[in-house]
A = this chain, B = another copy of it.
Amino acid sequence: MNKLTADSITALVLERFAGCPDPRLRQVMHALIAHLHNFAREVELTPEEWKAGIDFLTAVGHITDDKRQEFILLSDTLGLSALVDILANRAAAGAATESSLLGPFYREGAPEMAAGADIGGATSGERIVLHGRVASADGKPIPGALLDVWQAAPSGLYDLQDPALNGMNLRGRFRTDAAGKFNFLSVKPASYPVPMDGPVGAMLNAAGRHPFRPAHIHFIVAAPGHRRLVTALYIAGDKYLDSDAVFGSRDSLVVGYRRGAGDLDAVEFNFALDRDGR
């Protein structure tokens, strides 16, 4: 009569997925179970800690609704979202612009605006110019590329989070000109904390971690024949640049303000897109 042990149980559970008809699901479940069991064995997880984990996940589930996704926030704060993003984009050409997190605040259908337009609308805050070029990773400019831009207000809130705002704010879409160039106006973004009133906030507090993201502006850049680029630009000098709570900031995506035309601070960035199927 063989006693099931803390080691032998893993093979028993894995065997139970041997008949899984989808080979990829079987592979993912096998790896998930092996790593989950290794984790529990390595720390000798106690029944009380296991229960605390169940209660934590339950609280994450119960605060999640159509407007708030605490599981994504959990994945973000554990660096899993950034890791998945890096894995998905690591095949890109070395010269291609690095990707960064999409985040939870993207909205489809932002208005397409003319070059030079201000996405800030009635938002108060210091205006800046954003300009640059979109090219292939091999350097060839791309006319007609579409930039989808969004950012938080200087208050740290996105339009979706601000009950005073009903419509699209600080969002816009722009097309590059014949030389692949774009330019538009916005307001200076500020660093802001991720939501701290839920279980993930409690986890960050217990771990002694701050909740801030450095100031940034999101971009999706798309052009026919090229891989869609989801990224963001991060503002030089922000105190949270090296400790982004969700691990989105990248050295290659840091931009500084320079005094530009019309006495406004300006940010220049040239996007390089990977060719499709390269």
Chain A residues close to B by CB (< 8 Å): 1-6, 9-10, 12-13, 16-17, 19-22, 25-29, 31-33, 35-47, 49-50, 54, 57-58, 60-62, 64, 69, 71-72, 75, 78-88, 90, 98, 206-209, 243, 247, 250-252
Contact = CB atoms under 8 A, between A and B. Distances in A.
Given A40-B83, A50-B81, A208 B3 contact: no
A47 B49 CA distance: 30
Query: Which of A10, A78, A247 has most B Cβ within 10 Å?
Result: A78
A155 B176 CA distance: 68
Contact of A50 (B4, B40, B58, B84): B84
A79 B243 contact: no
9 contacts: A1-B251, A9-B79, A13-B247, A16-B243, A29-B207, A40-B87, A50-B84, A54-B69, A58-B64
Given A69-B54, A69-B58, A86-B9, A209 B75 contact: no
Nearest to A21: B208
Copies of this polypeptide in the complex: 2
Contact of A6 (B13, B32, B49, B87): B87
Interface of A, helix, strand, loop or mixed by DSSP? helix
Contacts of A251: 1-3
Contacts of A45: 28, 84, 87
